[in-house]
Amino acid sequence: MDLRQMEYLVALSDEQQFTRAAAVCGVSQSGLSAAIRGLEDELGTTLFNRTTRRVEPTDAGLALLPHARTMLAQAAAARDAVVRATHELSGSIRVGAEQCLGFVDVAALLERARRRYPLVDLDFTQAGSHELIARVRDGSLDLAFVAAGDRLARVRRIELGRRPLVLLCPPQHPLAARTALDWADLRDDDFVDFQESWAVRSLNDEACLAHGVARRVRCTVNDVHTLLDLVQRGLGVALVPQHIAAKPQAAGLVAVPLPSTAPQWVVSAITGEPSAASASLLLELLDTELALNA
């Protein structure tokens, strides 16, 4: 048994589906399946009951699960001990964030951290929220700022704020004059949206699917400003968090409220569980209005 197998075991127990568990762990589904089968072969017993709809731990899997969590917690504690041995003033802090979150100025936060802890190496990654969550879980990031309100098993979460989604369109678009929308109004439009690693893409896909809207996403981007440019040029409408519509690059576009059943966009700071000691160095620098303390 090794830590990677324990990570896969916990993820599969939490997600109860190979596809989601593999995404959480950042590996292929076949790789995760092979690792679980190898663990079952090593122990000489079946750890999961597999059906077409879900995967559930057997009695043997449930017996192993708390030990797997303990092994992962001990490994994280060992990493923290190394950080504490260096007085938390040297070494590195690995941070990730999705673009244009709105509730936290990540660049300013990193600047303050550099000034306060000049001996600490700051490693920063910008990526979609789903990728960042997976990296916090596997320990390759200490702290991440993400836009996701769910799918946060096995991380410690501090919510920073939430905003509604709006439809963003050019002023000449037929829906621009509307003060409210029905989901059916979105069925005939072309859309610009983010790549699937962005949390807002999942929100949009799931909300539209739940309300019978089969979207045509014609343009897929990995940058907020590119999305706004494409909408400005009439290549599609977009479903975005409300604060994106207030950006200077969105000047001239119209933000139309979505139905009240639309999901909210939630921004959180997440760390591993237990959290790395180095993550507290950044959390303590967040603005006081966020009501966060190290």
* pLDDT for res 102: 80
236 and 200 in a common domain: yes
251 and 183 in a common domain: yes
167 and 259 in a common domain: yes
More confident residue, 86 or 46: 46
pLDDT > 70: percent of the chain: 88
124 and 71 in a common domain: no
152 and 102 in a common domain: yes
CATH number at residue 277: 3.40.190.10
103 and 68 in a common domain: no
pLDDT at 61 over 50: yes
272 and 127 in a common domain: yes
* pLDDT for res 62: 94
pLDDT at 26 over 80: no
* pLDDT for res 23: 80
Domain boundary among 33, 63, 79: 79
CATH number at residue 178: 3.40.190.290
235 and 167 in a common domain: yes
Distances in Å between the Cα of 171 and the Cα atoms of 128, 256, 284 are 29, 11, 43
Domain boundary among 32, 61, 79: 79
Give the best-scoring range by mean pLDDT among 18-32, 39-53, 87-101.
39-53
168 and 260 in a common domain: yes
* pLDDT for res 86: 52
Q: Domain count of the chain?
A: 3
107 and 91 in a common domain: yes
Domain boundary among 79, 111, 144: 79
CATH number at residue 72: 1.10.10.10
140 and 285 in a common domain: yes
pLDDT digits (tens, 9 = 90+) for 215-225: 999 999 999 99
Domain of 43?
Answer: 3-79
pLDDT at 47 over 60: yes
240 and 168 in a common domain: yes
